Amino acid sequence: MKTTSLKFAGLLCLTFALAAPAFADISSMMKESMKGETSLYKKVATGKGSDDDAQKLLAYVKTLPAESPEKGDAASWKEKTDKLVKATEDVAAKKPGALQELQTAGNCKACHSVHKG
């Protein structure tokens, strides 16, 4: 009985690991988490998101640094996406000033003007 429940717990962990987001591209990540007034990003960046929302957004933004946008250079992309990850981590950790940090790092136009084709 004990082994069965352990196995079940292991299976659950595996399921959660597999549930981690793997987006086909930047575009899908944007549509899933950034787009719109009620997006996951908006909720978290305005302090209206739950702890779970912050964790979910964190998992999402973490997929970005490994992507390569069609436009702009790699160093700039890395800097911007690293900042976005750091800011989301700070919000998840409830650091003071983190919401402001996330709003700056997540500025749509600032990134799109350089990296969106």
14 binds ligand HEC (CB under 6 A): no
Two tokens, residue 29: 């990540």
CA nearest 30: which of 41, 14, 38? 41
* Nearer Cβ to ligand HEC (30/92): 30
Q: Which residue reads 């899908």 in tokens?
A: 28
Q: How far apart are CA 47 and CA 99, in angstroms?
A: 7
116 binds ligand HEC (CB under 6 A): yes
| Contact of 70 with 117, CB cutoff 8 Å | yes
Q: How many CB atoms lie within 10 A of CB 46?
A: 11
Spatial CB neighbours of 82, under 8 Å, sequence gap ≥ 6: 65
Of the residues 11, 13, 14, 108, which one makes contact with ligand HEC according to CB under 6 A: 108
Instruction: Tell me the per-residue interface mask from 15 to 34 with ligand HEC, x by CB under 6 A, - otherwise.
Output: ----------xxx--xx--x
Instruction: Tell me the per-residue interface mask from 70 to 99 with ligand HEC, x by CB under 6 A, - otherwise.
Output: x---------xx--x---------------
The residues of the shown chain that bind ligand HEC, judged by CB under 6 A, are 25-27, 30-31, 34-35, 41, 69-70, 80-81, 84, 106-108, 111-112, 115-117
